[in-house]
Structure 1
Amino acid sequence: MNTRTLALIAVSIATLIYGVTFTIAKDVMPLHIKPYGLILLRVSGATIVFWLASLFVKAEKIEKSDYKKILLAAFFGVGFNMLTFFKGLSLTTPISASVMMVTSPILVFIFSSILLKEKLVKRKIIGVIIGLIGTIILIVYGNDTDGSASNRTLGNFLVFVNAASYGLYLILVKKIIAKYHPIVFIKWLYLFGLLIVTPFGLPELTEVNWLTMPTSIYLKVGFIIIFTTCITYLFNLYGLTKLKPTTVGVFIYLQPVIATIFALIVGSDSLNLVKISATIIIFFGVYLVTKRVDKFAK
């Protein structure tokens, strides 16, 4: 089996993990562990894993000026990103949340045009507008009688804010990630992220009744820490070393598909016309934004 095939398998597994996480995390919160408490568990667990992993990597000294950049990246890529995502997911449904995440490429384009002064193309601008229309439809009208979502409108909006935060994070780390070994970078990223989420997560974590919590919930929390955080990062990292970033990026579009199938199988969510329509509109907008520009086109 060649390295490209292995890389595609690794990225596929990472995408599968992300897809089922929407439902698994929804099973954990807010009934057993509140959102911010779950985030603290996830970030602290990942911090320990990555710092242990760094023991097997050649030590690199971080430039003093880069600590501020890593701290800013930690705010948007770990702290604010996870706080809005898990809080939003606790209020909405797995399918709606997974669809909102697909808006990330649109938001990356917006931030790239603002911060990196990337060239604006009419087709991409139209794609942004169409994608945002689909997003607004899902946020405002994506409500149904499903009792698993206590405040779907707010939840969808928070997941959208999370996608925006992560999109900004991708822009911020574009240059700095090339300077250091990925494990060295990520261990500091998560350490700073841990400092950010602790004040929010600690009060909720102290409320958890560990003695009465079912074994299945312990296993799901472990899955989120080890697989959703650590394994997916390592698998995507391997994929990026063997595949083009655009190839890896395409896999984000499979997340809603996997999330929908898994959620429907276990009965944690349902489909309706608004969700289907909004999804089609968002995907079309993303297609226009991410489609390669013909270099010979005027």
Structure 2
Amino acid sequence: MKNIDKKWLYLFVLALVWGSSFILIKKSLLGFTALQVGGLRIVFASLLLFVLGIRSLKSLTIQDWKFIGIAGLCSSFFPPFFFAIAQMQISSCVTSILNSVAPLFTTLVGVALFGLALKQRQIVGVLIGLLGTVMLIMAGMEFNPGQNYWYSFFIIASALGYAFNINIIKKHLGHLSSLQVTTASFGVAFFPALVLLLYSNILVTFIDNKAMHNAVWYVLVLALLGTALANIMFNKLIQLSSPVFAASVTYLIPLVAVLWGLLDGEKISFLQIFGGCIILFGVWLVNRKKG
């Protein structure tokens, strides 16, 4: 299969998998705390990746590990915790739409730190996308006064982390396989996540907690499919395409996530949808190729 065909296949599969991740986080939080969901997600994903790719790490150099250490913290350690924390206060629909700022941040980080050239229409696109983000947050505060939209900044911080990760992989780790990059990144995140998970006292509380017994299956699917395997695919997509194209998976993620949210009884206002459309328009403007 040609690379141009593969990248579109990866894009749509990732949109389906990651679009479903938000509802899985929501269901996981019915039994676990945000700290436990984030920790379990990282630990389960890491164990699968160690089985699949631990041998591939032998060829990594000290220079590789330097960049992997930064990328791993930005994309594999902090976001799983941040998303779980945010969804304690914000619906999965809105969380997925806020995550759409990732391509905008990818462009900004690429320009600021990685020598990416920025055209005038891309500057306009970034500003439009950020305006849509503010509108979405403000509309959410009015439509859902019971939700704390200050937690939106956990999603924005995660999107910024993904932006650093994408640019680092594209510029400094392109010579490594997607399995190597993903396994090493979660290797960086594994031990601090395990410490936090044990600190949460999960081993004691899990034994007699039926809610945890039910929720653990959602965490397993989220970790193995939505985190480990999906990250291998995403890192491969970065190598097959451009950083901005890879980040454009967030075009489609909200469509899947909002559908799941509505099926689960969540409500979303017209102004929130409008704000999300403005974000996506800004992302489209940044990515659009002239002609």
Common fold, TM-score beyond 0.5? Answer: yes
SS in 2 for 1:47: helix
**Aligned equivalent of 2:24:** 24
SS in 2 for 1:143: helix
Amino acid at match of 2:132: G
Match of 2:190 among 166, 184, 194: 194
Q: Does 1:154 align with 2:150?
A: yes
Closer, same or farther in 2 for the Cα pair 1:100/1:73, shift >3 Å? Answer: same
Match of 1:172 among 163, 168, 171: 168
**Aligned equivalent of 2:104:** 106
SS in 2 for 1:118: coil
Q: CA deviation at 1:272?
A: 0.5
| Structure 1 stretch displaced more, 96-105 or 133-142 | 133-142
Number of matched pairs: 288
Match of 1:225 among 215, 223, 226: 223
Q: Distance in 2 between matches of 1:36 and 1:135?
A: 26
**Aligned equivalent of 1:122:** 120
Closer, same or farther in 2 for the Cα pair 1:118/1:14, shift >3 Å? Answer: closer
Gaps of 5+ in 1: none
**Aligned equivalent of 1:135:** 133
**Aligned equivalent of 1:253:** 251
Q: CA deviation at 1:82?
A: 2.4
SS in 1 for 2:289: coil
Q: TM-score, normalization: structure 2? A: 0.87
**Aligned equivalent of 1:279:** 276
Gaps of 5+ in 2: none
Q: Give a deviation string over 1:79-112, Cα, whole Å, max 9, x none.
A: 2232222211222111110001111110011111
**Aligned equivalent of 1:81:** 79
Q: CA deviation at 1:124?
A: 1.0
User: Where do 1:203-222 residues align within 5 Å?
Assistant: 203-206=199-202, 208-214=205-211, 215-222=213-220
Q: CA deviation at 1:39?
A: 1.4
**Aligned equivalent of 2:53:** 54
**Aligned equivalent of 1:34:** 33
Q: Give a deviation string over 1:139-181, Cα, whole Å, max 9, x none.
A: 233135659x742x12222111111111111112223322323
- Give yes or no for contact 2:90–2:147 (8 Å, CA) kept in 1: yes
Q: CA deviation at 1:185?
A: 2.5
Q: Give a deviation string over 1:1-21, Cα, whole Å, max 9, x none.
A: 999767645542332121121
Q: CA deviation at 1:293?
A: 3.8
Closer, same or farther in 2 for the Cα pair 1:196/1:140, shift >3 Å? Answer: farther
Q: TM-score, normalization: structure 1? A: 0.85
- Give yes or no for contact 2:74–2:164 (8 Å, CA) kept in 1: yes
Q: Distance in 1 between matches of 2:164 and 2:238?
A: 19
SS in 2 for 1:32: coil
SS in 1 for 2:210: coil
Q: Distance in 1 between matches of 2:174 and 2:53?
A: 17
- Give yes or no for contact 1:34–1:205 (8 Å, CA) kept in 2: no
Q: Distance in 2 between matches of 1:49 and 1:142?
A: 37
